Amino acid sequence: MSDAFSTGTRIVRKDAAAAADRLSADICIVGAGISGVTAALEAAKLGRKVILVDSQPALGGQAVNSIIATFCGLFSNGTHGYQFTHGIADDMLDWLQRQDQAVYYRHGPNTTVVYYDEVALGRWVEESILAAGITVVLGAILDTVEMEGRRIRSAAFMTRYGRIEVEATGWVDSSGDAALAWEAGLECREPDRNGVFGTQMVVLENINEAAQPTRDQLAARMKEVGDTYGLRRREGLGFTIPGRGIAAMNMTHVETPLEPVAASAAALDGKDQAMRVVDFLRKEFADCFGQSRVRSFGLPGIRQTRWIKGTHHLTVEEIRAGTRFEDSIGRTAWPIELHDHGDGHHWILFDKDHVHYIPLGSLTPEGCDNLVAAGRCIDADSAALSSVRVMGPCMAMGMAAAHALDLAGTGSVHQIDMSEMRRRVADNVEREHYRWDEAELASVVTAS
Ligand SMILES: Cc1cc2nc3c(=O)[nH]c(=O)nc-3n(C[C@H](O)[C@H](O)[C@H](O)COP(=O)(O)OP(=O)(O)OC[C@H]3O[C@@H](n4cnc5c(N)ncnc54)[C@H](O)[C@@H]3O)c2cc1C
């Protein structure tokens, strides 16, 4: 090794008059969770120049960084239902299937849920975004939005390395909190009474998979001795990809206020709750968790905070009735999963043939021509949103957002060619494709 090393330095000082860095694109997406990533990849496939911005220093939003651990709402009901969302979702599932122990299909009694390894999912996101030539700006928090009539002209973000301004023809609000619509001064929705609780996920390693308690056993014991451990939530569940000795535990309920000091306190409270859960699991289910260690914590998991006011307010009645809209862009059959009380949540299942739909109108804010929302901040009542915000339909919404903006171009997302839009998203609204081969489906039919 050479001992000739550099000792040179230079004196620098911030130029107070220096302008912010500027970027421009056809489509700018704010929020790189599963809905924003899907929107970005779809927009790039359509040949659009895309900028993807996120306040975290990493891509993947909650799917990766909060360690959500499963994709729900991707399959119709029944043990081996057909797939609801295609396109980017197919690319992702195929990619994960090629990795060792990165994905596992759990064919439960109600539906198929896809368990995934969050590190592998993170790599899929990063590789796909890089390969698509998308410009990424990480660690960038939305600061101000400049409107020109009914259009967003530009947005400014603050990063640890200074301010950056983005100009774009079309915008996607996949921030989860409707941050873009809010900063643009558009009308937004918040729950008028009980908010919805988030969850601090905790991943345990060195568990004995053979001795895993069921969801009912966990709940029964949490109700019985929860006070002793200071547990707030009295039910929960764990996700395990078989053979790895790791479980992602979803067993806390944490408030998610839209106020910085309260949100920070809630984040610390979440970790505290999670450690109480770990203590409970180690002692009460020692055969399974007695030797377990905390491997990681997710970032605070946030379910529902603030969302846009669209041209359609999706209601729980429409969900229950399976209303199919002229402008449907996605579907699911996931239960109503409303975490609106600290110790538990509402869980309302649908029957085997049930399907409910998401209209484009719930993604398009009334007062803006070049903004489309996707993911957990679309317009719905709290109960309806609790079903359609799971990650399967989030991917369908991301795809639809990209197509709506592509079709709108410099025009309005409220006046796109709907027959062309329907053609483009038909697979996510109509197709009944089974991911399972004939033999597997036959054995399910024989067994049931
Ligand atoms: C604990 C928990 C468990 C869940 N379990 C499941 C499950 O098992 N299966 C399932 O399918 N779904 C589950 N869900 C629901 C699902 O995970 C979310 O609804 C979904 O991930 C939302 O994706 P998104 O892309 O809309 O938003 P997010 O993943 O929240 O992404 C939003 C992104 O926007 C960025 N952002 C926010 N504000 C700003 C800003 N001002 N400036 C810049 N960037 C910003 C954030 O950093 C974030 O990365 C769960 C949710 C939680 C919280």
Q: Is 177 in the pocket of ligand 1 (CB under 6 A)?
A: yes
E strands, 57-211, are 70-71, 103-107, 112-116, 135-137, 141-148, 151-159, 162-173, 188-189, 202-205
Q: Give percent above pLDDT 90 in the chain.
A: 93
Q: Is 203 in the pocket of ligand 1 (CB under 6 A)?
A: no
Q: Does residue 329 contact residue 359 with C-beta atoms inside 8 Å?
A: yes
Q: Is 180 in the pocket of ligand 1 (CB under 6 A)?
A: no
Counting ligand 1 atoms within 8 A of each CB, the residue from 56, 74, 116, 175 with the most, and so the one to mutate, is 175
Distance from residue 303's CA to the centre of ligand 1 (Å): 7
Distance from residue 397's CA to the centre of ligand 1 (Å): 13
Q: Is 202 in the pocket of ligand 1 (CB under 6 A)?
A: no
Burial class (CB in 10 A: 0-12, 13-18, 19+), 123: middle
Q: Is 68 in the pocket of ligand 1 (CB under 6 A)?
A: yes
Of ligand 1's listed atoms, the one at least distance from the Cα of 63 is 21
Q: Is 33 in the pocket of ligand 1 (CB under 6 A)?
A: yes
Is the torsion defined by CA of 179, 181, 186, 189 positive or negative?
negative
Q: Does residue 186 contact residue 46 with C-beta atoms inside 8 Å?
A: no
**Residue pLDDT, tens place only, 122-175:** 999 999 999 999 999 999 999 999 999 999 999 999 999 999 999 999 999 999
**What DSSP string describes 330-394?**
EEE-PPEEEEEETTEEEEE---TT--EEEEGGGTSBTT-SSEEE-STTSSB-HHHHHHHTSHHHH
361-to-28, 330, 389, 410, 428 alpha-carbon distances in Å? 20, 12, 16, 19, 16
**Residue pLDDT, tens place only, 26-75:** 999 999 999 999 999 999 999 999 999 999 999 999 999 999 999 999 99
Of ligand 1's listed atoms, the one at least distance from the Cα of 391 is 11
Q: Nearest C-alpha to atom 36 of ligand 1 is from which residue?
A: 175
Q: Is 345 in the pocket of ligand 1 (CB under 6 A)?
A: no
Does the structure show a pLDDT above 80 at 211? yes
Confidence of residue 378 (pLDDT cuts 50, 70, 90): very high
Q: Does residue 134 contact residue 335 with C-beta atoms inside 8 Å?
A: no
Q: So what's the pLDDT on residue 285?
A: 98
Q: Give percent above pLDDT 70 in the chain.
A: 99
C-alpha span between 245 and 64 (Å, rounded): 20
C-alpha span between 73 and 111 (Å, rounded): 8
Q: Which residues contact 157 (CB under 8 A, 6 or more apart)?
A: 53, 137, 140, 141, 142, 143, 163, 164, 165, 166
Enumerate domains of the chain plus CATH numbers.
Answer: 19-190+304-448 (3.50.50.60), 202-297 (no CATH)
Q: Is 30 in the pocket of ligand 1 (CB under 6 A)?
A: yes
Q: Is 391 in the pocket of ligand 1 (CB under 6 A)?
A: yes
Counting ligand 1 atoms within 8 A of each CB, the residue from 55, 68, 254, 271 with the most, and so the one to mutate, is 68
Confidence of residue 444 (pLDDT cuts 50, 70, 90): confident
Q: So what's the pLDDT on residue 448?
A: 57
Q: Nearest C-alpha to atom 5 of ligand 1 is from which residue?
A: 68
Confidence of residue 1 (pLDDT cuts 50, 70, 90): low
Q: Is 113 in the pocket of ligand 1 (CB under 6 A)?
A: no
β-pair partners for 24: 167
Does the structure show a pLDDT above 90 at 446? no
- Give one word for 22, left, alpha or beta, with left for phi > 0 and alpha for psi -120 to 50: beta
**Residue pLDDT, tens place only, 170-192:** 999 999 999 999 999 999 999 98
Q: Nearest C-alpha to atom 16 of ligand 1 is from which residue?
A: 390
Confidence of residue 3 (pLDDT cuts 50, 70, 90): confident
Q: Does residue 125 contact residue 136 with C-beta atoms inside 8 Å?
A: no
Q: So what's the pLDDT on residue 195?
A: 86
Other beta carbons less than 10 A from residue 228's beta carbon: 12
C-alpha span between 67 and 400 (Å, rounded): 25
43-to-48, 125, 400, 412, 423 alpha-carbon distances in Å? 6, 15, 10, 17, 16
C-alpha span between 346 and 337 (Å, rounded): 6
Q: So what's the pLDDT on residue 217?
A: 97
Distance from residue 142's CA to the centre of ligand 1 (Å): 16
Distance from residue 59's CA to the centre of ligand 1 (Å): 12
Q: Is 250 in the pocket of ligand 1 (CB under 6 A)?
A: yes
Q: Which amino acid is at 443?
A: S
Is the torsion defined by CA of 264, 365, 420, 75 positive or negative?
positive
Q: Which residues contact 228 (CB under 8 A, 6 or more apart)?
A: none
Q: So what's the pLDDT on residue 443?
A: 86
Both tokens of residue 298? 């997710």
C-alpha span between 261 and 277 (Å, rounded): 25
CA-nearest of 200, 300, 204, 196 to 252 is 200
Does the structure show a pLDDT above 80 at 194? no
b/e per residue 405-440 (b: at least 16 CB within 10 A): bbbbeeeebbebeeeebbebbebbbeeeeebbeeee
Distance from residue 149's CA to the centre of ligand 1 (Å): 30
Mapped onto helix, strand or coil, the DSSP state of residue 187 is: coil
Both tokens of residue 249? 């535990």
Distance from residue 394's CA to the centre of ligand 1 (Å): 9
Counting ligand 1 atoms within 8 A of each CB, the residue from 390, 395, 397, 399 with the most, and so the one to mutate, is 390
Helices 391-408, 88-98: inter-axial angle, 10-degree rounding: 130
Does the structure show a pLDDT above 80 at 283? yes
Q: Does residue 121 contact residue 96 with C-beta atoms inside 8 Å?
A: yes
**Residue pLDDT, tens place only, 324-339:** 999 999 999 999 999 9
Q: So what's the pLDDT on residue 79?
A: 94
Q: Is 397 in the pocket of ligand 1 (CB under 6 A)?
A: no
To the nearest 10°, report the CA torsion of 136, 138, 144, 148.
10
Q: So what's the pLDDT on residue 2?
A: 64
Of ligand 1's listed atoms, the one at least distance from the Cα of 334 is 11
Both tokens of residue 436? 């399972």
DSSP state of 254: B
Q: So what's the pLDDT on residue 137?
A: 98
**Residue pLDDT, tens place only, 300-319:** 999 999 999 999 999 999 99
Q: Is 173 in the pocket of ligand 1 (CB under 6 A)?
A: no
